Amino acid sequence: MENRILVVDPNKCTGCRTCEIACSAFHYEECNPRKSRVKVFKHEVAGVDVPTMCQNCGTPICRSVCPSKAIAKDKDSGKVSIDQEACIGCEFCAFACPFSATTIVEVEGKRKAILCDLCGGEPKCVKYCETGAISFVKVDEAAELQRKEGMKAILYHTNPNAARMHDSRILAKTRVR
């Protein structure tokens, strides 16, 4: 199967966060945005909304910082995933990720980090997004470009200084291949 990635268009995102509810509903059969693997960054003063999820970076920063070696990147699919058994819930990955893509949840009293798993090939955030702000596309140059735009928007609005200083470096590292 060809590799596909999630790309976002901040100009289409209305900030309704239906993707967050859909994500938790399908993974846990309950509705709770704090258990969602996709999050909408909202900057209410500037009117900016950017959905964000794991970008499956080429050199995942989360993998580099994980003390329990729970994070791996699959060679064929390019997918980054977290071994739930090995994860110790230290949140290093959550701090390190420039897009805050890891979510920390409590499972049976233990804290665990979770990541977007593309819903096994049919992402629910895409299905429930009315405006098409999130789409699931084939990996090509255009997709890479669109992905960068989304990520730039997040970086710019979460930490404009960091965005100016580091975005080219971070973005270079996050290429899928």
Residue 113: helix, strand or coil by DSSP?
strand
Strands 71-73 and 134-138: unpaired
Smallest gap from residue 133 Cβ to other proteins (A): 10
**What is the distance, to the nearest Å, from the Cα of residue 169 to the centroid of all Cα atoms in its chain?**
18
DSSP 109: T
User: Which residues contact other proteins by CB under 8 A?
Assistant: 11-12, 14-18, 21-22, 24-26, 28-35, 42, 44-45, 47, 49, 128, 130-131
Smallest gap from residue 166 Cβ to other proteins (A): 21
By C-alpha distance, which of 74, 77, 105 is closest to 91? 105
Smallest gap from residue 32 Cβ to other proteins (A): 4
Residue 17 or 79 having the CB closest to other proteins: 17
55: burial class by Cβ within 10 Å (0-12, 13-18, 19+)? buried
Smallest gap from residue 172 Cβ to other proteins (A): 28
Residue 11 or 168 having the CB closest to other proteins: 11
Residue 88 or 104 having the CB closest to other proteins: 104
Please say whether the beta carbons of 79 and 87 come within 8 A.
Answer: no
Place of tokens 């209410």: 44
Residue 27 or 175 having the CB closest to other proteins: 27
Biggest CA–CA distance in the chain, Å, is 43
Residue 31 or 165 having the CB closest to other proteins: 31
Smallest gap from residue 123 Cβ to other proteins (A): 15
